[in-house]
Structure 1
Amino acid sequence: MNNHPAAGTFYGVGVGPGDPELITLKAAKLISRCDVICYLCNDADSDRPGRSQSKDIAQDVINDRASKAIEIAIPMPYSRDRTAANKAYDQGAKAIKSALEQGQSVVFLCEGDPLFFGSYAYLQERLCEAFTCLSIPGISSPNAASAVAGIPLTMQKENYAVLSGRLSDEKILNHLREFDSLVLMKVGQSRPRLLALLKESGRIHETVYVEYATREQQKIVYDVTTLGHEAGPYFSLFIITRHQRNV
């Protein structure tokens, strides 16, 4: 719904997993022409305050703009406490709302795909009743990780699931038993626990680990039994597939 006929449009633009060359033509076009560029960034308490992963990915496109865009940075605390995150999204939505009411087009840069574990979804939820919100899909991390590892995510009649690594042990084990192929997202701090669950399920030798897919610091581990039991980075995942395929 758009209650402001002269208002601008809010775009959630997927900039992909990290390699700037994987930004779609449509995404690059919108970034090049919009009035306002919006993105999440590290808050003041982080090691690198103001740093934005999504903006870094799109920086070349931003630099090539004919004119400088207005920028709205939304500082985001790295905490599992949703209260602080919701407050940041509320404040960000308020700033975006002001720009939209002035008739400006606003592009929100989102790593991967805007509606796949994407931060854009929280802003869309706050703005969609009053403004036109459009999502431009981007390459998600499971697809990027599958490509760099050279592993099909699913084939023929295989079933496939994407799980958050923050789910309970019971839910993860149940899915490991039920699904032929899975991607475990948000590995990070959960990596030691997830490795133990993969071993318990008997699927540890069907697992590949990928960090920072398509980025300069990309890392692929085909034998995950060699991984240390310390926490991994935020941008990491496990791909689990059956060795024997009924094709």
Structure 2
Amino acid sequence: MTETAKQGPKQGTIHGVGLGPGDPDLMSVRADRLVRNARHVAYFRKAGRSGRARGIVEGMLAPGAVEFPMEYPVTTEIHFSDPRYNEILSEFYAAAAAHLAALSDAGEDVVVLCEGDPFFYGSFMHLYERLKDIRPVQVVPAITGMSAAWTATGAPVTWGDDMLSVCMATLPEDELAERLGAAEAVVVMKIGRNIDRVRNALKRAGKYERAWLVEYASMEGQTVQRLSEVEGKPTPYFSIIVVHGEGRRP
């Protein structure tokens, strides 16, 4: 996808490989091939966890593959509006990118495992921006989690001229309600502890009764329920809310 600006011995390629929404059967042929033949595999994870991306490829890695888990130094301990949040994560991504660059300079290809699509709200984007102009980087696209979520509801998400809006549950309630109200079809991501704010925003936008809550789309434990029917239920981070459009059709 990009060309390296550095001259010298042949460098290895850093592959950002989209794994899809969670079911290994939904990986692309290219992603499957790269994962199974990788000598070096990198992936993000929370400290003390195995990593969801790593879990998707369990049993697929070649014997002797060298793994490089990149553990987030902070997740929800500091709010993203705090300047320290960006400072800490910036140092983390810089160090991870330097490690991958060193492998590339040694002539080694590296597969970076990415949940969903690498260019859709993924952590790999922060590595890509640091590496794309100085090392060979290729990106393998994939099915997004939201696509798996609306498919799980058993109904098309958009019709005719419907406008689809993808919103983050982390937005302030007023802004979220405004954005939800401006679109015919809606996807809300990053739910978790933000569920009450999302419920209120959907009600204000007149979309609450049409909202579906999909947990762990395409993964083990997937559930699909009307949001209005699960009041008071804790909502995991890997949840997506879908409101289908009702637009023009023959």
- What TM-score does the superposition give when structure 1 sets the normalisation length? 0.91
Q: Is 1:141 the equivalent of 2:137?
A: no
SS in 1 for 2:102: helix
Q: Is 1:61 the equivalent of 2:60?
A: yes
Q: Is 1:26 the equivalent of 2:30?
A: yes
Corresponding pairs, count: 237
Over residues 115-158 of structure 1, what are the superposed CA-to-partner deviations in whole Å (9 max), with x where a residue is unaligned?
Answer: 00111101011111111111101110110001111121212111
1:215 corresponds to which letter in structure 2? M
Looking at structure 2, the residues matched to 121 and 4 of structure 1 have their Cα atoms a distance apart, in angstroms, of 24
Looking at structure 1, the residues matched to 231 and 90 of structure 2 have their Cα atoms a distance apart, in angstroms, of 34
SS in 1 for 2:11: coil
RMSD over aligned CA atoms reads: 1.5
Cα displacement (A) at 1:13:
0.4
CA contact (8 A) 2:165 2:180 kept: no
Which ranges of structure 1 fall in alignment gaps of 5 or more residues?
44-48
Aligned positions of 1:41-60 closer than 5 A: 41-43=45-47, 49-60=48-59
Of 72-81 and 111-120, deviating more is 72-81
1:71 corresponds to which letter in structure 2? E
1:33 corresponds to which letter in structure 2? N
1:72 corresponds to which letter in structure 2? F
Residue number in structure 2 paired with 1:46: none
Cα displacement (A) at 1:50:
4.1
Aligned positions of 1:25-174 closer than 5 A: 25-43=29-47, 49-62=48-61, 65=62, 67-76=63-72, 77-79=74-76, 80=80, 81-174=85-178
CA contact (8 A) 1:4 1:101 kept: no
Looking at structure 2, the residues matched to 140 and 34 of structure 1 have their Cα atoms a distance apart, in angstroms, of 23
Looking at structure 2, the residues matched to 57 and 4 of structure 1 have their Cα atoms a distance apart, in angstroms, of 36
1:143 corresponds to which letter in structure 2? S
Looking at structure 1, the residues matched to 146 and 163 of structure 2 have their Cα atoms a distance apart, in angstroms, of 15
CA contact (8 A) 1:192 1:230 kept: no
Looking at structure 1, the residues matched to 7 and 41 of structure 2 have their Cα atoms a distance apart, in angstroms, of 20
CA contact (8 A) 1:164 1:184 kept: yes
Looking at structure 1, the residues matched to 42 and 17 of structure 2 have their Cα atoms a distance apart, in angstroms, of 10
CA contact (8 A) 1:19 1:57 kept: yes
Aligned counterpart in structure 2 of residue 9 of structure 1, from 10, 13, 25 = 13
- What TM-score does the superposition give when structure 2 sets the normalisation length? 0.89
Over residues 72-106 of structure 1, what are the superposed CA-to-partner deviations in whole Å (9 max), with x where a residue is unaligned?
Answer: 11011323433332222122111111101101001
SS in 1 for 2:103: helix
Identity of aligned residues (%): 27
Distance 1:91 1:231, change over 3 A: farther
1:107 corresponds to which letter in structure 2? V
Looking at structure 2, the residues matched to 21 and 60 of structure 1 have their Cα atoms a distance apart, in angstroms, of 13
CA contact (8 A) 1:4 1:131 kept: no
Q: Displaced runs of 4+ in structure 1, greater than 6 A?
A: none
CA contact (8 A) 2:35 2:111 kept: yes
Q: Is 1:235 the equivalent of 2:238?
A: yes
Cα displacement (A) at 1:172:
1.6
Q: Is 1:190 the equivalent of 2:191?
A: no
Over residues 43-62 of structure 1, what are the superposed CA-to-partner deviations in whole Å (9 max), with x where a residue is unaligned?
Answer: 2xxxxx14110011011321
Looking at structure 1, the residues matched to 35 and 248 of structure 2 have their Cα atoms a distance apart, in angstroms, of 44
Looking at structure 1, the residues matched to 110 and 148 of structure 2 have their Cα atoms a distance apart, in angstroms, of 27
2:236 corresponds to which letter in structure 1? P
Looking at structure 1, the residues matched to 127 and 139 of structure 2 have their Cα atoms a distance apart, in angstroms, of 12
Distance 1:82 1:219, change over 3 A: farther
CA contact (8 A) 1:41 1:53 kept: yes
Looking at structure 2, the residues matched to 229 and 132 of structure 1 have their Cα atoms a distance apart, in angstroms, of 48
CA contact (8 A) 1:11 1:106 kept: yes
